[in-house]
Structure 1
Amino acid sequence: MKVIRLVLGKIILLLNAVFSPKSQQRDSDAQQRVEQELQAITLYQFESCPFCVKVRRAAKRLNLPLQTLDAKQPDHEQALIAGGGKRKVPCLRIEQDNGEVTWMYESNDIIAYLEQRFA
């Protein structure tokens, strides 16, 4: 099973690289504001997870340089479990202005949030 996952993961990454989406264009001031807002957002992910790839593709299409953390690394995995309550990816960590943190799971929910906030 590990071999199948490894092979499929590499195929997914290859296809993602070959068919990379085109990024949305913004003027420099708007892009700078977006990047400043993104400092409060982190994506916990696995590199070859198809749902994580789906979220990263949507972020690229929206021209959102998200900070990503590999949830396979022990310290990131522990932070994900401690904050979000489960070891499930993709997970978007959103820190609000008041310091409250929201942990958002499910790729479709994450993409809808990013589109609603940044499109």
Structure 2
Amino acid sequence: MTRSEMDLQAWAAGYNAGAQGKAPVEGAYDNYSFHCGYDEGAADRAQAVDREKAVLSFIEETFEPDLIKVEDFELFTHGKQVMDREGKFMLVFFDLLADDVQQLFPDEVLH
């Protein structure tokens, strides 16, 4: 086995463990870092969870839950499409540059 093949196997082992929510494999790459006993990606994953919670909290605080339908909108970071009963919708997402939840009304952008 070549060094490249060993590196690829180590990366795959770490990536697959992370994707399954398992503890990282020591000496394997995960999708963030090379593990040498320290999980650098844990802070990034925790921050992503916090951002997702911020988007969902904004939606819960702004709308009556039984009057809207919420779907994932993956073109934006933690994006959600919020649609009302009339079929009008807005996008709610976490803006990484502003470090805050933002909303976008596609009808206003298109006109």
- TM-score computed with the length of structure 1 as normaliser: 0.26
For CA contacts below 8 A with separation 6 or more, give which structure has more relative contact order. Answer: 1
Q: Flag the structure with larger Rg.
A: 2
* TM-score, structure 2 as length reference: 0.28
